[in-house]
Structure 1
């Protein structure tokens, strides 16, 4: 299996590589369009600020090929947010695969922003979560969240209930970091490989 992690300068790449390595799966990093399109599975990571990450995607011309991918694609954290229509962070347009918008947590809700730490994933409705119990804990680090929409396949509550996972056709996105979520996160990554 050819598993490619999109390398566009805004990813949490090493921890993702280690997580797949623990599953016995070798990964390759690439920003090459042909390599990404030829992969069996694609990981779209992301950490940092949305507008600069989108700028990096544009500079590698990856904004044109990602929406055309036919194989399973998993966006992680900011990667998931960039697959949405729009984010309030930097008022940035995303790739529009998921029909939802990304908003900032309201600090008047007496919550700490960013959310850093473990929280539960609820209302799971996808094979991505096969064998993962309802209310499983995943690790999150984020100040922005995707609104709940018809493509939502899992939710989390932090001041408000929001989308913690999305699916549209072959595209999947998770707000949490499966690569940092222990055995449950490893199970989700293994499930992704089986999709």
Structure 2
């Protein structure tokens, strides 16, 4: 996949924003694992809405790669060992969620509040599904600390899904205002490249 300079820069910007979102957090101590409610999800949503499927996915992958390389950009640090944390699945969920949000937004093509909110909810379901499955598998098959599906859903999903839904609403509202300007800038850049 070949990306232009502006696209690479934009992906790097959103990767940085997602990293910043990791530091805007509320720690929720739970019996087996401390959950971190962060603003990462807000910037993943914005990436999906503003960049489209391809660039939003690249942005999240860049963010994850930086964190796994050892830079402490995740809510609880960084490094390759982060893969073995049960909560890492929620970070993996960001990748597919960004793709889903970007794909739906591209298909809609124009600003439509209801469809954007639907895209954000589809992304939210994707992100939580991947996170919950990973959490369950890591605890039951790797860490040997058995946990039931009901505990995963009730204690590790439902506790943060309402605030994350609020972020969906906020991101939808922001993207409706920013998307025309953002797309105009990207289109103007493409036209300039053609002229040169």
TM-score calculated relative to the size of structure 2: 0.31
Scaled by the length of structure 1, the TM-score of the pair is 0.31
Query: Going by fraction, where is helix more abundant, 1 or 2?
Result: 2
Write 1 or 2 for the structure with the bigger share of strand.
1
